[in-house]
Structure 1
Amino acid sequence: MLVRMIQKTPSAYGYPLLIKQLLATIYEPDQEIVYRDKMTYTYKDMEKRTRKLANALEGLGITQGSTVAVMDWDSHRYLECFFAVPMMGAVLHTINIRLSPEQLVYTVNHAEDDIILVHKDFAPLLEAVKDQLTTVKKFVLIADYEDAPATSLEFAGEYEELVEAASEEYEWPDFDENAMATMFYTTGTTGLPKGVYFSHRQLVLHTFGLMSAANSFRAQLKIDAGDVYMPLTPMFHVHAWGMPYSMTVMGAKQIYPGRYEPELILKLYRDYKVSFSHCVPTILHMLLNSPSAKDTDFSGWKMIIGGAALPKGMCIEGLKLGINIYSAYGMSETCPLLTQALLKPNMLDLPLEEQVVYRTKTGLPCPGVQLRVVDPAGNPLPHDGKTAGEVVVRAPWLTQGYLNNPEKSEELWEKGWLHTGDVGIIDELGYLQITDRIKDVIKTGGEWLSSLELESIISQHKGVSEVAVVGVKDDKWGERPMALIVPREGQELSKEEVQTFMGAWVENGAIPKYGIPESILFVDEIPKTSVGKIDKKEIRAQQG
């Protein structure tokens, strides 16, 4: 029997799920948005500025389907772009400011960026590669209320001046909710960066899903309009985990710190009584070890840790300081929210040492998320807390593929489930715990490194016979690369010589500086599997 479809009245409005709908429901329009010590305005002002920004971009030739790229620190401008660019029907490309020059050129050209809005601090990066950019028609300077830098880049205008001069009359159009709204590039595996993209419908549903996950349960915390929010996840990275959209709908006070400077972040935290943030473990470690941390009262700060595993020691330290800290999980391809390590009601009175066990787990699936661990054939595995398999997911906000990369897209979505590439177990209570990675990528400070790429570079040293690179635990960065090297017969190598050799690859833009291992061991042989492959699992086990 077929399902019974609704009857649609010809005059009924279909109400597409567009990002503009999020701005129509702000709970506290007179609440403030703050950027460092440079700018304070209200949501009413922000909404007006988005219309002026849209007019300014149209004046520069941006139309529906155009791509607008942004290279900026976390700011109120970025928040305006989160809304104005997609609401015009254009696509927002959030550029990772930490990309190597080679990766920067590839992503800009692959995304077919039409305009780049660039903060003055990043103008030298673009100046060095401008002749390699094939689609960019104009650059817009973000001077950050300071003098323009000396550069050979030709700017079509300065952000604030263009916004100030533009009309505030703009009517946001209707269009298909499946229109592309945002894109960015994920790196870390072998090969070139891969573009992920999200529609208006997906971002709206992710916003509602995130709000539901943050407010619906009798857990260790709630996040609502009364919070003061300061993101500590870069806005170029998965829309700062989607939180700015949710906090805008709530009308919460928002504090944008710009460039991450520990002392300024803590000053903003104290001055504005910040109550909610999210970041990778490295950022929290940086804050807790900054000079003014000892004079800072952290009690009442709600903190979600993602991008890397939350170490139990860090969780205990945070809780003892009064930080309500716990884990969440997602990835670039998932927009990103998948799970949160929320405590169940019967756990709320447990001693902190027992709560830590659950606060540091990968967590429970959020509303709207289907999550399984499966065997290699795709069969679901039991929730017994010990049977491990690949984590696969479905949700209405997952990227539908990689931009112009059908082969990798099909791999991502094999058998109709998005494959995370992570290995995990699910316990009897439904909590997921990631235990390993299928691919040997190294996650350091919330960023990804390819072990195979590092091996390829080191192997080109004339004194290297064999090399294996794995990620080893690091209290500050989560992981750091470690290299095992078998020297060629008769050759003598030193750690410093290898690091100097790799430094040349940093200079030519092939790898970032943090790709150079601090730990380099010279060995007689590298563990192999029965078929002769490098046994990285054994290497990690030997290194503890």
Structure 2
Amino acid sequence: MIQTKLIPRTAEAHEPPMLIKSMLAQSLKYEPQREIVYRDLFRMNYIQFNQRVRKLANVLTELGIKPGDMVAVFDWDSHRYLECFFGVTSYGAILHTINVRLSPAQILYTMNHAKDKIVLIHEDFLPILAAIKDQLTTVEKFVVLSDKVYTGTAEVKPLNELPEGVEGEYEALLNSASDQYEFPDFDENTWATSFYTTGTTGNPKGVYFSHRQLFMHTMGLLTYIIGYEAMPFKGSTDVYMPITPMFHVHAWGFPFLATMMSAKQVYPGRYEPELLLKLLIAEGVTLSHCVPTILNMLVSSPAAPRFRENLSRWKVIIGGSALTKGLANAATGLGITVISGYGMSETAPILAVGYLNEQEKMCLPEEQIDLRTRAGRIAPFVELRLMDDNGQFVAHDGHSLGEIVARGPWLTQGYYEDPERGADLWKGGWLHTGDVASITTDHWVIVSDRTKDVIKTGGEWVSSLDMEDVLSQVEGIAESAVVGLPDERWGERPHALIIQKPGYALTAEGVKAELQAKVDRGDLHKWYVPDRIVFVQEIPKTSVGKIDKKKIRSEMKELILGK
């Protein structure tokens, strides 16, 4: 560290901390009349939203929650969740977003490990709570969330189904609270949010972020998405709807950005294909983000071509898994603008987003697809390097491969109460992503594979992601997953699971023949023809919608090998 000279400071000078409450305050300045919509059940403007956020702070006060306490939330994507993003954190408490797709045992572990003090829970998840409630060690109080209060069709489930400490229903508590509350200043490095990410071994890991980190992540999105127009998002005309769960890395941080801009927002609740399409059309949604599975589900809908005019205004950022050329072509064929984004839970998550510069926008459509399916260009304020197995940096020449390592102002500092895995994450002062990639001289990131998913066959390293991309371009294939399995002769050989589109009658031999023809023409390497192809109705996914290759390799090995 070089010697520098700090600026002189006057004792009375105020230096405002970077806090989430500061982003909230912007939502009232310019377009407070814009709406936040929840399904077809509830809508409000930003004036009402700010009032409800302050009501929530008063509810937390009345319930005895103190700054630093952990507040757990079980909910679908909703206006209530958005209120917690701002109300819980600006109050000084810590928001623990529960991954409702984990097993009850994993959820129990995360709640006890995080030391949750109070739980806000949608009644749909009461059965999960019933299974674990007697084993919770720190939870003292519960608040029920219900959509029925907006419809008047039925009463909320009896509160006596919950443990002692139930305080009532969320909407009723807000209605009885004052909308006057002055959020305090505190250190910008105060812990703001936490959630748990699952790995290949061991218990889920607690990831955590400060107010400063989330503030800076929002500024990074603001710079890249709005400033550079990587995916143009204008608050005056665009409408935002997440199709990534809000428990998953704060819905990639976009709710903070959209709220700060007082953009119209639409929250779909539980994901239902028909409702998603209905909201997209009725509310004029123009910007979303999701995993490839969700986009594939929507573009494969028989109804999609009828709504091409609406879909042509829709811009979608794909992350979580690789965007294949087949899916990108299907989406652009409907007029949808797609690009990829790259990151991970530990990075809040944005590390790269696709950005086409002026020259690249002049490229032919097929050349643009190649760019749009890359992981993205390195995001502002982020430093990405490639590192080999010996800890040496690898050249950014678009060909040399290495593990992506990262630095930036919004990366988690470790794992909660898990210093050993935290030290491994930050080995050598760089955050290790576990992804193998190349980086071009003009800062495009091209992810080859996860280090654990690269197929090592006959002395060659074959990317399972590249193989899935090739399969996506075979007519009739809706989705695929490729894994490497042990082989006595070659070390490993690739095997593929395939879901075919309705109306097709593909065969393994036919798919292999089409790939072999590309090999014979010199378009593909010989290793890109899988040893075995198995047609399935469903491909295993993780709790956040990624292809679960660990499960495929272990639990489905018998199916794939035919033993």
State the TM-score bracket (shorter-chain normalisation): 0.7 to 0.9
**What does the per-residue CA deviation read over 1:109-129, in whole Å, with 9 as the maximum and x for residues that have no partner?**
001001110001001100111
Structure 1, residues 493-535: CA drift from partner, whole Å, max 9, x if none?
xx9xxx9xxxxxxxxxxx99999539713478xxxxxxxxxxx
Question: Deviation string for 1:458-487 (max 9, x for gaps)?
Answer: xxxxxxxxxx9998565699xxxxxxxxxx
* Matching of residue 246 in structure 1 with residue 246 in structure 2: no
- Aligned match of 2:18: 17
> How far apart, CA to CA, are the structure 1 residues paired with 2:108 and 2:229?
47
Aligned residue for 2:192? Answer: 181
Aligned-residue RMSD, C-alpha: 2.8
1:390 is paired with a residue whose SS is strand
Counterparts of 1:291 and 1:90, CA distance in 2: 46
Residues 404/471 of structure 1: CA separation in 2 closer, same or farther (3 Å cut)? farther
Correspondence for 2:395 among 358, 375, 382 = 382
Listed as ranges, the matches of 1:280-359 within 5 Å are: 280-297=291-308, 298-359=311-372
Normalised by the size of structure 2, how large is the TM-score? 0.80
Which residue of structure 1 aligns with residue 275 of structure 2?
264
SS at match of 1:126: helix
Distance 1:177 1:218, change over 3 A: closer
How far the C-alpha of 1:439 sits from its partner, in A, is 2.9
- Relative to the length of structure 1, the TM-score reads 0.82
Q: Say whether residues 1:114 and 2:153 are aligned partners.
A: no
Deviation of the 1:23 alpha carbon: 1.2
Number of aligned residue pairs: 475
Please state how far the C-alpha of 1:61 moved relative to its aligned partner.
1.5
Structure 1 residues 36-55: aligned runs within 5 Å: 36-55=39-58
- Residues 129 and 410 (structure 1 numbering): CA distance in 2 closer, same or farther, change over 3 Å? same
1:166 is aligned to 2:167: no
CA contact (8 A) 1:220 1:343 kept: no
Unaligned runs of 5+ in 2: 150-154, 455-463, 469-480, 487-491, 502-533, 539-549
For structure 1, list consecutive stretches of 5 or more residues without a partner in the other structure. Answer: 456-467, 478-494, 500-510, 525-544
Partner of 1:149: 157
Indicate if the aligned counterparts of 1:29 and 1:251 stay in contact, CA closer than 8 A: yes
Q: 1:414 maps to which residue?
A: 427
**Native 8 Å contact 2:224 2:230 kept in 1:** no
Q: Contact 1:183–1:197 at 8 Å: present in 2 too?
A: yes
Q: Within 1, Cα distance between the matches of 2:274 and 2:17?
A: 44
Residue 290 of structure 1: CA displacement? 2.8
Whole-Å Cα distance in 1 between the matches of residues 136 and 290 of structure 2? 32
SS of corresponding position for 1:123: helix
CA distance in structure 2 between the aligned counterparts of 1:471 and 1:231, rounded to whole angstroms: 33
Q: Answer whether contact 1:263 1:292 (CA < 8 A) is retained.
A: no
Call closer, same or farther: CA 1:57–1:11 in 2, change over 3 Å. Answer: same
Q: What residue identity is the alignment partner of 2:162?
A: L
1:273-322 Cα offsets, whole Å, 9 max, x none, are 11100000001111122343232221110110001000111111111111
Q: 1:228-284, CA deviations, whole angstroms, 9 ceiling, x for partnerless residues? A: 011000000000000000001111100000000000110011101111000000011
Amino acid at match of 1:170: Y
Native 8 Å contact 2:305 2:334 kept in 1: no
In 2, distance between residues paired with 1:515 and 1:267?
A: 39
Please state if 1:130 is matched with 2:133.
Answer: yes
Q: Tell me by how many angstroms 1:430 deviates.
A: 1.8
State the secondary structure of the residue aligned to 2:200. coil
Cα separation, 2, equivalents of 1:294 and 1:270: 13
Aligned to 2:219: 208
Distance 1:472 1:69, change over 3 A: farther
Residues 51 and 472 of structure 1: CA distance in aligned 2, closer, same or farther (over 3 Å): farther
Residue-by-residue CA offset, 1:56-83 (whole Å, 9 max, x unaligned) = 1111111111000000000000000000
CA deviation string 1:353-387 (max 9, x = no partner): 11001000011111110001111232221122211
Inter-partner Cα distance in structure 2 for 1:414 and 1:301: 40
Cα 1:328–1:522, aligned 2, differ >3 Å: closer, same or farther?
Answer: closer
Closer/same/farther in 2, CA of residues 323 and 176 from structure 1, 3 Å limit: same
Separation of aligned partners in 2, 1:331 and 1:93: 18
- Judging changes above 3 Å, is the alpha-carbon distance between structure 1 residues 518 and 123 closer, same or farther for their aligned structure 2 residues? farther
Match of 1:481 in 2: none
- Which of 367, 373, 376 is matched with 1:363 structurally? 376
Q: SS at the partner of 1:140?
A: strand
Note closer, same or farther for the CA distance 1:279–1:522 as it changes in structure 2 (3 Å cut): closer
Q: CA deviation at 1:221?
A: 3.6
Q: Does structure 2 conserve the Cα–Cα contact (< 8 Å) formed by 1:218 and 1:344?
A: no
> Structure 1 residues 309 and 513 mapped into 2: Cα distance closer, same or farther (>3 Å)?
closer
Q: Percent identity?
A: 51
